[in-house]
Structure 1
Amino acid sequence: MVYAAIDIGGTKIAGALVDGSGRLLVRARRPTPARESAETLLAAVTAVLDELAADARWEAVTCLGVASAGPVDAAAGTVSPVNIPAWRDFPLVERLVERLRARPRLPRGVDPVLVGDGVAMTAAEHWLGAARGVDNALCFVVSTGVGGGLVLDGRPHTGRTGNAGHLGHISVDLEGTACPCGGRGCVEGFASGTAIAAHALATGWQPPEGQPPTAATVARTAVDGDPLARAAFDRAARALAAAVAATASLVELDLVVVGGGVAQSGDLLLAPLRRHLTEYATLDFTRDLRVVPARLALDAGLIGAAALAARTSGASHPAPPPASHSAPTENSR
């Protein structure tokens, strides 16, 4: 079996062909033109799919999973990513079908299946990664935004619209600043890569000469001991801890899995997250909650989108992996 998948985020649009064991066979990638027009954004997505379609295995594709930053409406096929202003109730599935049928590029009988990127990451980690075999888990990504998903009673829980577990827009400060989503004091405003860099700059942090003022640069200087950089990560971790504790009190979690670009900083984020979680998760059934890094790194959205599309579309279910499976890549483009 061959599945196609794309993962649309605020920074990059990634695509892959994925086999039935979760192995990425071929990749494609473009930067996300997040501040440009809706049509320019769509063109970048279809360019990624065109690159995948150039591979001989495209003709064997049985389903197409589309993971997008949220919120999404999986039933309507629309997306309204908070960090992509040009897409508001954008009919992504309909427009992809139009473009891909016209070439023609999409194999007959294959329609895009839309999922939230946090839900896709969760499905991947539950299938192949750190949440494998866990009945109740919260998995989330910390990147340009903060998204998440839930595993409940041993199955990924997507919710009615595909947004269940969207951790980034839990409010952790009732008097906080306005969020582009319309709320106030959202986790994303504290813990996203953009928020971490902005807060560090606001407190007087300066990037080393010649380096961009990004979360990755903040992380590098924090590792070197910069107190302002470390404080920015601690603030992010505290907001995440408050949201994780709130989620645990609602659904009783066994495990928390943290992935995404910012989470690649490792214990710089995870250590203060675990520490602050002891302050917020104080009820008996929320204490001592394990927090672990994602195992699939930045591939989780693609793998999860493929797996969910296979299940939703009626294609053969992905094969269960061996215990040591690490979803290797055969080649890259």
Structure 2
Amino acid sequence: MQTDLVAALDIGGTKIAGALVDGHGRILARAQRPTPAQEDGESVMRAVEEVLGELAASPLWTRACALGIGSAGPVDASAGTVSPVNVPGWRDFPLVERVRAVTGDLPVELIGDGVAITAAEHWQGAARGHDNALCMVVSTGVGGGLVLDGRLHPGPTGNAGHIGHISVDLDGDPCPCGARGCVERIASGPNIARRALDGGWRPGPDGDASAAAVAAAARAGDPVAVASFERAARALAAGIAATATLVEIDIAVVGGGVGKAGDVLFAPLRRALAEYATLSFVRGLTVVPARMGTDAGLVGAAAAALARRADPTAAGV
């Protein structure tokens, strides 16, 4: 990585975060606004402009040589547009064009949020030193990204590695994406909680029915909660093994809210992976928790911008 300074945006359904990041991955300035996700597209863009305006007020702004954007998806990096599922006002929204207009035509690199987190984990986190990796976000949804031959592999539109929509149950429940039995339909936080509730688990006196509450119940030995996490773990294992078999990754990094469940998730995940990843070239595959935390989207967006600046022909870190 060069020692250049870049701007970064991390755009999700809850918040729009921005930062100035140096070539060592250090965040030197930051700004944030809530995402007005249920308002019209221009209202969302105004929040982006406010974040950029706050960053531009920093004396460091003039050193920024590029801007990276990690956005909830789908994104289309080839067209510079975004259509986040959780931001209905943005459909084929020309985000790259609009951001360039605000920043004085600063070079912009757009990638999906799962790819951004992958870039961060490969640059500074749990996948550092691995040339072939899958990094996953298991939270409200399930996303991911790939590093192949030492480089980030976002694909033509910026969505490569979207493991959440690999089908692992051919006769499974319909997924909002239109397919059936997707990893996300089984392993995302809301679906872990849904399965536990359907199986008879009930929240405690506080009424918390989240996946985190199911994880706590599983740690306490509740058999229905344990079964829900084991089912999620098997779905993740099947998706990870399929990906490893296809492109020969040697590490899978799991982050996001569900990834914080610890051994409740990782113990059955590793057991199931041993059943699914059976061919000689994937048996050494390891699964580890993510390390980068809440700044991963910003650091990853910066990594992609720095890599593109260093090599305009490839998005690699």
Asked if TM exceeds 0.5, the reply is yes
Is 1:55 aligned to residue 58 of structure 2? Answer: yes
How far the C-alpha of 1:303 sits from its partner, in A, is 0.8
Is 1:266 aligned to residue 262 of structure 2? Answer: yes
Once residues 100 and 163 of structure 2 are traced to their aligned partners in structure 1, the CA distance between those partners, rounded to angstroms, is 30
The correspondence for 2:189, drawn from 186, 189, 193, is: 193
Contact 1:11 1:144 in 2 (8 A): no
Distance 1:46 1:76, change over 3 A: same
Q: What's 1:323 paired with?
A: none
Once residues 29 and 221 of structure 1 are traced to their aligned partners in structure 2, the CA distance between those partners, rounded to angstroms, is 34
CA displacement, residues 216-247 of structure 1 (integer Å, 9 cap, x when unaligned): 33233333333333322222111111100111
The correspondence for 1:310, drawn from 306, 313, 316, is: 306
Distance 1:47 1:183, change over 3 A: farther
Once residues 92 and 76 of structure 1 are traced to their aligned partners in structure 2, the CA distance between those partners, rounded to angstroms, is 10
Contact 2:100 2:106 in 1 (8 A): no
Q: Secondary structure of 1:56's partner?
A: coil
- Point out where structure 1 has 5 or more consecutive residues left out of the alignment: 101-105, 317-333
Once residues 113 and 238 of structure 1 are traced to their aligned partners in structure 2, the CA distance between those partners, rounded to angstroms, is 35
Once residues 207 and 200 of structure 1 are traced to their aligned partners in structure 2, the CA distance between those partners, rounded to angstroms, is 10
Q: What's 1:180 paired with?
A: 176
Once residues 213 and 182 of structure 2 are traced to their aligned partners in structure 1, the CA distance between those partners, rounded to angstroms, is 23
Q: What percent identity do the matched residue pairs reach? A: 65
- Point out where structure 2 has 5 or more consecutive residues left out of the alignment: 313-317
Root-mean-square deviation (Å) = 2.3
Once residues 265 and 46 of structure 1 are traced to their aligned partners in structure 2, the CA distance between those partners, rounded to angstroms, is 36
How far the C-alpha of 1:34 sits from its partner, in A, is 3.8
CA displacement, residues 77-108 of structure 1 (integer Å, 9 cap, x when unaligned): 1122334444332222223334x2xxxxx2x4
Q: What's 2:315 paired with?
A: none
Is 1:20 aligned to residue 37 of structure 2? Answer: no
CA displacement, residues 192-237 of structure 1 (integer Å, 9 cap, x when unaligned): 2222222223323232223542223323333333333332222211
Q: Secondary structure of 1:195's partner?
A: helix
Once residues 54 and 257 of structure 2 are traced to their aligned partners in structure 1, the CA distance between those partners, rounded to angstroms, is 24
Is 1:38 aligned to residue 41 of structure 2? Answer: yes
The correspondence for 2:85, drawn from 63, 82, 86, is: 82
How far the C-alpha of 1:109 sits from its partner, in A, is 4.0
Once residues 215 and 29 of structure 1 are traced to their aligned partners in structure 2, the CA distance between those partners, rounded to angstroms, is 26
How far the C-alpha of 1:134 sits from its partner, in A, is 1.2
Contact 2:170 2:180 in 1 (8 A): yes
**TM-score between the two structures when normalised by the length of structure 2:** 0.88
Q: What's 1:203 paired with?
A: 199
Contact 1:278 1:288 in 2 (8 A): no
Q: What's 1:64 paired with?
A: 67
Once residues 79 and 19 of structure 1 are traced to their aligned partners in structure 2, the CA distance between those partners, rounded to angstroms, is 26
Once residues 149 and 4 of structure 1 are traced to their aligned partners in structure 2, the CA distance between those partners, rounded to angstroms, is 21
Aligned length: 309
Letter in 1 for 2:11: I
How far the C-alpha of 1:53 sits from its partner, in A, is 3.2
Q: What's 1:301 paired with?
A: 297
